[in-house]
Chains A and B, each alone.
Chain A
């Protein structure tokens, strides 16, 4: 409950800062480099394996039931675009970036650096939270698009070499609707905002010494991953209702 209140408070204060254009471009770009650019190898390798494993499992099952693979590529792309791409990017962001944010802010909290910021009349939300929210929203979208592409092409390689499905057959857009694209983009941006919000809130709520920082880091990865899954279900549900 306390964490939810902190998240709500941080979101409202950060939104107010953004509306007043109180945004440090330099810090936002630095954070984007940390959250987005430096996450590329981790996300690319992970999504590559997910794409390969996913296609291998589906193709193996299809081979046993109905050895017809013409829809495999289109179905894979549709699933990756609206579901697996943004969700996995969100979860990987929580693991790699959220923990770092919670540890950094938590450590600043327990060593009174946040209080010192306030005493220097520097708003910690404006200085720490806003750049992380904006950069992570951009990083969430970028990583989701890149991760989807990597997973798809890794799956294509497995389909081609493992099941002799030609790239021309695999590369099909016929199941992907504009609706899937919007759902995917909405999820990626939402997760990109949620992960730093929850992680920063865990950092701001840190208490005690190094144990408090450790607890904040654990809470950040648990609650931001949980939030990603819950929001995924919610956005999927809303999207289905809207389509109907």
Chain B
């Protein structure tokens, strides 16, 4: 079964064609990395899956539900099952770390505020952040903010998690820790869609790789085939060379 499916999706911003008739299928219970040079439409592509963007033409499906024609209120249910975590931590800065996480629990369940706080604390402790529960987001480091964003997303108990460049801006140790956590999620059978440029993360975690270039899908297949690919653009990306099509 597919977690997400795009059929001939095109999207432009002004005169800039970002996605050009893209068709693809992302399977469930696998960790798919979406890679490609900056500005090639990776974030734009995944934002279509959660209905944050609507295509100019084409069809977008999450499992069997067509997303691009769903009204906004119906998207809320979809976004609870398929959670998108932004590249930069978008924590609610007027709330404490604990409140950031407990808010979504209180909103979607019938738990009392005390119960929601307890569940949120449990979620934070899994990320090693229980001691920062009462801090404000601006008192946290970048990696801690990213971890809280992830904890908030996981509080919804989603079946699919979309992470937009989770390790960008983190030091190698923090990136390694975050990868460990993502790896544990992948082992639970959760569908993961991760936008990344981090080849080390891709080598460690990816089941599949989707390589976007100039608004087209250039490669989509198992991670080992990606790293063994003889496609010149893929080779250039993997080897980090300046000269070439990219």
A233: chain B residues at CB < 8 Å are none
Which of A74-82, A120-128, A191-199, A235-243 sits within the interface?
A120-128
Contact A120 B153 (CB under 8 A): yes
Judge if B92 is at the interface, Cβ distance under 8 Å.
yes
Q: Which chain B residues border A121 with CB–CB below 8 Å?
A: 76-77, 79-80, 104, 107-108, 156
Beta-carbon contact of A120 and B52 below 8 Å = no
| B192 at interface, CB cutoff 8 A | no
Closest residue of chain B to A112 (Cβ to Cβ) is B90
A116 within 8 A of B: yes
Which residues of A sit under 8 angstroms from B76, Cβ to Cβ? 118, 121, 123
Of B86, B91, B107, B149, the most chain A CB neighbours within 10 A belong to B107
Q: How far, in whole Å, are A56 and B75 apart by their CA atoms in the complex?
A: 60
Flag whether A119 is at the interface (Cβ < 8 A): yes
Residues on A with beta carbons closer than 8 Å to the beta carbon of B156: 120-121
Q: What interface size band does chain A fall in?
A: 10 to 19
- B interface bracket (residues with beta carbon within 8 Å of A): 20 to 34
Contact residues in B for A119 (Cβ distance below 8 Å) = 50, 52, 79, 83-86
- Residues in A whose Cβ lies below 8 Å from that of B83: 119-120
Choice from B75, B90, B103 contacting A122 with Cβ under 8 Å: B103
Which residues of chain A are near B84, meaning CB under 8 Å? 119
B245: Cβ under 8 A from any A Cβ: no
Kindly state whether residue A115 has any CB partner on chain B within 8 Å: yes
Any B CB within 8 A of the CB of A58: no
- Give Cα A4–Cα B76 distance, bound, in whole angstroms: 25
Residues in chain B near residue A122, CB distance under 8 A: 103-104, 107
A166 to B108, CA, bound (A): 62
A81-132 contacts to B, CB under 8 A, are 104, 107-108, 111-113, 115-123, 127
Known: A112-B86, A122-B107. A117 touches B79 (CB 8 A): no
Nearest B residue to A114, CB-CB: B90
CB-nearest residue of chain B to A116: B90
**CB under 8 Å from chain A, chain B span 71-96:** 75-77, 79-80, 83-86, 88, 90-94
Which chain A positions have C-beta within 8 A of B92? 108, 113, 116-117
Q: Which residues of A contact B79 (CB under 8 A)?
A: 118-121
Contact B86 A115 (CB under 8 A): yes
Beyond A118-B79, A121-B76, A121-B108, is A111–B90 a contact (Cβ under 8 Å)? Answer: yes
Instruction: Give the docked Cα–Cα distance between A111 and B85 (Å).
Output: 14
B152 at the interface (CB under 8 A from A): yes
Measured between beta carbons, the chain A residues less than 8 angstroms from B152 are 120
Q: Which residues of A157-202 have CB atoms within 8 Å of chain B's CB atoms?
A: none
Q: Mark A14-56, 1 if CB is under 8 A from B, else 0.
A: 0000000000001000000000000000000000000000000
What separation, in Å, do the CA atoms of A107 and B94 have in the docked complex? 11
Rounded to whole Å, the gap between the CB of B113 and the closest CB of chain A is: 8
The residue that A113 contacts in the complex, of B80, B85, B90, B153, with Cβ under 8 A, is B90
In the complex, what residue of chain B is closest to A120 when comparing beta carbons? Answer: B104
Closest CB of chain A to B132's CB: distance in Å? Answer: 19
Which of the residues A26, A113, A120, A123 comes within 8 Å of B93, measured between beta carbons?
A: A113
Q: Is the CB of A112 within 8 A of B104?
A: no
A113 to B91, CA, bound (A): 7
> Closest residue to B82 on the A side, CB-wise?
A119
- In Å, the complex CA distance between A216 and B149 comes to 27
Determine the distance from Cα of A127 to Cα of B99 in the docked complex, in whole angstroms: 13
Query: How far apart are the CA atoms of A119 and B104 in the complex, in Å?
Result: 10
Residues from chain B with Cβ under 8 Å of A115 in the complex:
52, 86, 90
Report 22 cross-chain contacts, Cβ distance below 8 Å, ordered by A residue. Answer: A26-B113, A107-B93, A108-B92, A108-B93, A111-B93, A112-B86, A113-B92, A115-B52, A116-B92, A118-B75, A118-B76, A119-B79, A119-B84, A119-B85, A120-B79, A120-B83, A120-B104, A120-B107, A120-B156, A121-B79, A122-B107, A123-B76
Q: List the 7 closest A-B pairs by CB distance, nearest first.
A: A116-B90, A121-B80, A121-B76, A112-B90, A120-B104, A121-B79, A119-B84
